[in-house]
Amino acid sequence: MTIDRIVKKFKENHPQIDAEILWLAYDFAEAAHRGQVRKNGEPYINHPLHTAYLLTEMKADLATVTAGILHDVPEDTECTIEDVEKNFGTDVANLVRGVTKLGKLKYRGIERYRENLKKMFLAMTDDIRIIFIKFCDRLHNLRTLESLPDDKRRRIAKETLEIYAPIAGMLGIWRLKWQMEDLCFKFLYPEEFNSLEQEYEVEKKVRTKFIFSKG
C-alpha cells in the first residue's frame, strides 16, 4: 500500500477537497514508525496505510482518513497525542485519541460481552468515526493474522466475532461485518472453512462452464 493510492482513492470520492494533509500525515507517521516492523516482517507503516485505504473505500472524510494514517502513533512511538494535535488539529487528534482509548479495552470472554459492548458504544457516542477507524484497523489486523501464534490468532478472531462483527451489523456496516466474519471463521474453524471454500470453487467452475456453453 502507498500514500499515492490512498490520495487517489480519496480524491475519487472527494474531488473538490485538497488532500495535502494526507501527505503530511504520511510523512509524520513514516518518520515516527521508522525502524518498526510487524510480526510478518513488513515495515510497520504498512498497517496504518492499509487502515487508511480501507477508510477511503468507505468514503470517509479527510479527518478520518488522516487519523487512520496516524492512529498508532501515540501508542507505538515516541510522538504524543499533543504532537498530533499540534501538527494536525483538534479534530484529527480527538479521533486518534478515541481509537487509542478503544484499543485499551480488554476482551475477557463472552461472559463480559455486554459490558464491553456498552463501553464501546459509550466511546462511540463522542464520534462514530472513531468506530470506523477501529474497524478498519481490526480488519487489516485480521488479514495479517498468519504471522501470529495460533493461540493469539484464535483469541483475536474470537474477540472480533463476538464483539466487533455484531457492532458492525448493528451500525449497518455490512461489508466490514462480512469480511471480518469470513476471516474469523477461517482461523477459528479452518477445516470447515477449507471445505466451504472448495465447494465454492467447484460451484464457480460449474457456473462459468454453464455461462460459456450458453454463449
Torsion angles phi and psi, residue 198, rounded to 5: -65, -40
Q: Residue 74 corresponds to which cell in the numbers above?
A: 501515540
Half-sphere exposure of 194 (CA within 13 A, CB side): 3
Half-sphere exposure of 6 (CA within 13 A, CB side): 30
Given the residues 12, 27, 57, 75, the one annotated as active site = 75
Give the Cα separation of 45 and 174 in Å (integer). 27
Secondary structure class of 133 (helix, strand, coil)? helix
Given the residues 30, 42, 61, 76, the one annotated as active site = 76
Residues with Cβ within 8 Å of residue 91, at least 6 apart in sequence? 63
Nearest to 131, CA basis, from 92, 173, 91, 194: 173
**Angle between helix 128-143 and 46-57 (nearest 10):** 120
75 is catalytic: yes
The residues annotated with a catalytic role in the active site are: 75-76
